[in-house]
Structure 1
């Protein structure tokens, strides 16, 4: 239109272009809004695994008779703090498509998904139609149950040994007879069963032993202020809970009894050691809603509780943390007292961030000041 002041021909050409533009916009609008062309559904797992990548699927269907450009904006739970989440795809006429993405929660609890927004446009791109789909749904985030699958193989290490995948070093002789099987390379020749070998016509047979079963394993989790320290988006308590879940799973698969005890300034939940079918689910539900506080943990109460409630000699795996050597020395008498009647394994966490800071090269005064 600016050049139309110089020439009448250019003015009429500009009017024609504008008319064609509005015509395409109207056509684009009619095509997109004439019917409901896009349907979508969000598919969520029953629960999320804390600290792991969890898959979310969006099923899309294009009911239009033309190729459609799709932009997806999913209203994610507030805990993720992602306001720029967007997915883009294209759908052919009548095509059904599943778009996947993953989310990694770093805290346990309830996560609420809100509406699902689908923006559809044609190849012209003059008009965009928004489909707002009511897809509100709440998902509970549990301790890292996805990690359990990675350790199921460890629990079945005896089967690996039978297949020839050797060799796992075992300390001690607390074993019991399991079965007689064929000899494989790497088996201890001291376990050869000559009578069974003779019956098999010369095929070497060995006695197979397994670790003594039905032993009690208790995971004890400190919920005091020292476990609130963050690392890689999660607290030390979350890492302790995930480790407890894995250890309990392996123990139950090996026919041992798994139990749980939590404590802070007071004693929390106590789950007696057992190996019944529902024990793993009981442990998972107990760990789901554990929280830290800003109070000092009472190891004296922990010792009294263990002495009262855990009468059979057990393996006590204590997940805790110490900010200083003096902090460890204050609690050491209680840990030693527990160790008189139980086998105690203390698991605490290394501050890798502080270690990297101390070992970093000093190039200026500011770095030296921070390091000091």
Structure 2
């Protein structure tokens, strides 16, 4: 008991400053004797107040409790809320300082929350954390340092049991798109409707002709049966098409942007993209590849498919090897028996790097509709848009412009061989990918 008492007892800065003032008073009293009685009285008063303060803090058997509440899983790259409820069992107000043991991934050792809690009341501390890596995050104890109204001593409570939470790909972004779609406010996110060019070959039903219907869809046999009343065929958007998201896990996807790697942006975008494709009635699948490792999830439109995609994306990590497009193309050619939309999330930093993979992309484009999504280097914008004041600035701008032009040249080269390209910034990746998919659906290319 005595050992626990010493471990839980701490003294505040107010106590040490007061004690220092008394010591200085005793030193000065050596030269000014009348001050000795004043300093002695202050020392006695401080001792009595400390004893009273300790009695108030340690005199109750009911501890100051805290409970941490948060979601069972966190969303990567988003603000996740955490709440900590602290109960005051004392009959007097207390002041609480909370030292949260955050997961080591956040690299914060100075995270402190403070509040004054009235007698026998509770207080809720709320804060947000933004993880930038997928995996397990371990929260430790919430260390409470409690002081009374004297503020001389404080008691330590190791409250809130340690918790482990898993960080998954950005499902908050997924919910945001679903909610905005339900409210028909997708345009606020940048997702726009596309005008349908032509019509689908998916027959739905026959109906009477009304002004505005396409006369090319007139059904003359049905018109003859109805005694001359014009009848037209009605078509609906084709469904059950196969859409495969393919994520490159090689070292080129390790490049960071705003705390996240390009791989994390691709994973977050894939999750939203797959959900949109499932809502459109298509079958979605997933493939991730690096040098000698290829993971493949067959396409499906079942309700559990999105959960399977989420679980598969959770464990993906970048590797230091190069991506093996040849191995991937062999796998896709043997696994996919019907024409599908292949959405590649990769990154090409040079034209020569793209040309090494171009033969395999062209081979896939013979049998499938291939869309390559790669990233624009946003760091080059500041270099190319700034003013050049010295010769060195001119050289830097010229080189930066060369790299920016090479990205556009890569997109143009891919388009020559019928490969659809999307050059996007990381923050706009999801919107641009979904918009391109909706455009392809509207134009009946898939």
TM range (shorter): 0.7 to 0.9
1:67-106 matches, cutoff 5 A: 67-106=93-132
User: Given the superposition, is the C-alpha separation of residues 157 and 43 from structure 1 closer, same or farther in structure 2, using an over 3 Å criterion?
Assistant: closer
C-alpha separation between the residues in 1 aligned to 2:183 and 2:140? 44
Q: Quote the RMSD (CA, aligned, Å).
A: 2.9
Shift, 1:189, TM fit: 4.2
338, 345, 356: which is aligned to 1:330?
356
Q: Is the 8 A contact 1:155 1:254 kept in 2?
A: no
Q: Is the 8 A contact 1:28 1:122 kept in 2?
A: yes
- 1:13 matched to 2:38? The reply is yes
Provide TM-score, normalisation by structure 1: 0.85
Shift, 1:21, TM fit: 1.6
- 1:347 matched to 2:347? The reply is no
Q: Is the 8 A contact 1:267 1:302 kept in 2?
A: no
Structure 2 unaligned regions, length at least 5 = 1-24, 215-232, 400-446
- 1:110 matched to 2:136? The reply is yes
- 1:265 is paired with a residue whose SS is coil
1:1-372 matches, cutoff 5 A: 1=25, 2-5=27-30, 7-35=32-60, 36-133=62-159, 135-153=161-179, 168-174=194-200, 189-190=212-213, 211-363=237-389
- 1:146 is paired with a residue whose SS is helix
C-alpha separation between the residues in 2 aligned to 1:86 and 1:368? 47
Q: Is the 8 A contact 2:250 2:322 kept in 1?
A: yes
Shift, 1:176, TM fit: 5.3
Shift, 1:45, TM fit: 1.3
Shift, 1:24, TM fit: 1.2
C-alpha separation between the residues in 1 aligned to 2:116 and 2:168? 35
C-alpha separation between the residues in 1 aligned to 2:185 and 2:163? 42
C-alpha separation between the residues in 1 aligned to 2:291 and 2:109? 39
Q: Is the 8 A contact 2:82 2:128 kept in 1?
A: yes
Shift, 1:113, TM fit: 1.3
C-alpha separation between the residues in 1 aligned to 2:78 and 2:375? 20
Aligned residues: 347
Structure 1 unaligned regions, length at least 5 = 181-187, 192-206
Q: Is the 8 A contact 2:180 2:186 kept in 1?
A: no
User: Given the superposition, is the C-alpha separation of residues 179 and 113 from structure 1 closer, same or farther in structure 2, using an over 3 Å criterion?
Assistant: farther
